[in-house]
Amino acid sequence: MFIRLRKNPSGTTTVYLIDSVRIPGKKHASYKAVKCFGSSADQAQIDLWSQEANKLKEQFAKQKINSRSFIKIERAQDLSSCKVEDIGITYLYGNLFNKYFGNIKLKGTNSKTLSDIVTMRIVRPVSKLKTANIASSFGIEELSSNKIYKLMDVLDDKKIELIKKQVFKNTKELLGPSNQLRVLFYDLTTIYFETNSQTDLKEFGFSKDGKSQHVQISLAMIVTDMGLPIGYEIFKGNSFEGGTLIPTLLKLRQLYKIENVTIVADSAMLSASNIKSLKENNFKYIISARVRNLKKTMAQEMLLNDGYKGLHKNEDDNFCYKEMEFGDETLVACYSDKRRRKDEYERQKSIERIEKYIGKNPKAKLAGPLKKSYVDIIGSGKIAINQAKFEASKRLDGYFGYITNSNLSAEEIINQYRGLWQIEQTFRITKHNLRIRPVYHFVDRRIKSHFAICYLAVALLRIAEYKLKTAGIDLPIEQLHMMLNEIKQVKLTVGNNECEILSNLPENAGSIFAALKVNLPKAYSVTTITK
């Protein structure tokens, strides 16, 4: 393996890392590019790429198999113990766990069990019993169901708070002193259980998953503008969504001394009591405005074209905004062609559903499609569309806004609110990638442990994403895991020796492991069995 600097006719130089490949039947070796770092005429950039290529070369050099270490297999029965394990994901996240959470000390073997169960949650998010049954297929040995449940009983409230503090500490250290916490994103979701038994935590309530027939809990979470987790809180399943914001923020402030940050939340958090509490506790905030619920004078002012400034304009969208006084706050009013088309489409779909009830006397008068400001109930309870209200509602298509008490500029406010997708993506990862729901635990202490384990798994995934992104590697988690799934290890016993042989590493594994500062797994190892 060597570094090649190829001079191009344009005067630039391209930096490659080249490896030689022996092809059966050919006398001479062939060469392939392991990675192309780029082309430039700037010598400083070329030197930087050369240094990166050299680091990657050293990573691969560690994987070179010493041919003298091979053990000769002479008997067919030596292959009877052969076992293939998918170790890519478990190896990477096991190392990341030790790097970022290795200082969480638990009694006995519980620390190792915590690492294993969190890693397995990322690899294959299934029940604890099934996790114990399949763990050995992923290179994790001796992970029994007894160990898992013993660990979950050890993770009491005190230990869970230590876990939360370590996650916050890691986030602060990753961001560094030059990128301190300025904006935090808050949201809440519901997690349902496959049971109807109620406890102090499990309760019936409005389900965001459409599972109102099941008991649930409410999960509140806060992340940074880069998606790194800050903290989470669990509330009873029947908790009012807007009532979770202030307790969560006050607890975070008390624990971590968070000051001078702006909280971003959606319109569900916009209540008079919440805004009053945010002000009383000196929190800055950006909250989505419910435009259709604004006072008539505010809505009319928003519809006036005067004062709007263009943010961007292209064939797909015309986005503009203006600032309006909103008591002692600011309302950033926005208009977007793209949003208008969306509003028109949603209204048309609603009209199609409402038309089924026109002139009728339906039993379900409070059905979703009928909960519109322009739907009237007339006469003996029949449904009709109020055309005046319909046209008034239609005029607001494409308009939306943000209410804030921060000193940020209007453009910063718009851009920061757009970052709310970070918390929404975190919930998607939690629900879909880690399958946090439905929950099958019955007692509250194990429910809390389950969420702590999933929270650690989310933190590891977000750390991996952040480290890759800051290293200039655009690789979604799903693609990273597909690459890691190609890394397999063969285990077999030959005489008195236990051998572990790694499959060929994917081409981009070296750069990815280097960005995450994790050594590549050993390509070959032999352990002598002592009798």
> Has this prediction a pTM greater than 0.95?
no
For the stretch 346-373, pLDDT in tens is 888 888 888 877 777 665 555 666 777 7
Measured distance CA(403)–CA(37) in Å, rounded? 45
Q: What letter represents residue 155's amino acid? A: L
Cα 342 off chain centre by: 26
pLDDT of residue 170: 94
What region does 390 belong to: left with phi over 0, alpha with psi -120 to 50, or beta? alpha
Measured distance CA(460)–CA(442) in Å, rounded? 27
pLDDT of residue 179: 63
- DSSP per-residue letters across 230-294: EEEEEEETT--GGGGHHHHHHHHHHHH---S-EEEE-GGG--HHHHHHHHHTT-EEEEE--GGGS
For the stretch 234-287, pLDDT in tens is 998 888 877 888 888 888 888 888 877 888 888 777 677 888 888 888 889 998
pLDDT of residue 70: 47
pLDDT of residue 66: 38
Residues of the chain short of pLDDT 50, as ranges, are: 63, 65-71, 76
Please give the structure tokens belonging to residue 479. Answer: 């693609």
Please give the structure tokens belonging to residue 282. Answer: 């000196």
DSSP 299: H
Reported for 300-303, long-range contacts at CB under 8 A and 24+ positions apart, including other chains, are 301/333, 302/333, 302/399, 302/401, 303/395, 303/396, 303/399
pLDDT of residue 21: 66
Measured distance CA(389)–CA(379) in Å, rounded? 18
- Residue 350 CB neighbour total at 10 angstroms: 17
pLDDT of residue 206: 83
Name which of 62, 57, 82 is nearest 501 in CA terms: 82
- DSSP per-residue letters across 389-411: HHHHHHTTTTEEEEEE-S---HH
How far lies 472's CA from each of 16, 337, 425, 461, in Å? 17, 33, 20, 17
Measured distance CA(265)–CA(259) in Å, rounded? 17
Question: Could you report how far apart the first and last alpha carbons of the chain are, in Å?
Answer: 41
Q: What letter represents residue 219's amino acid? A: L
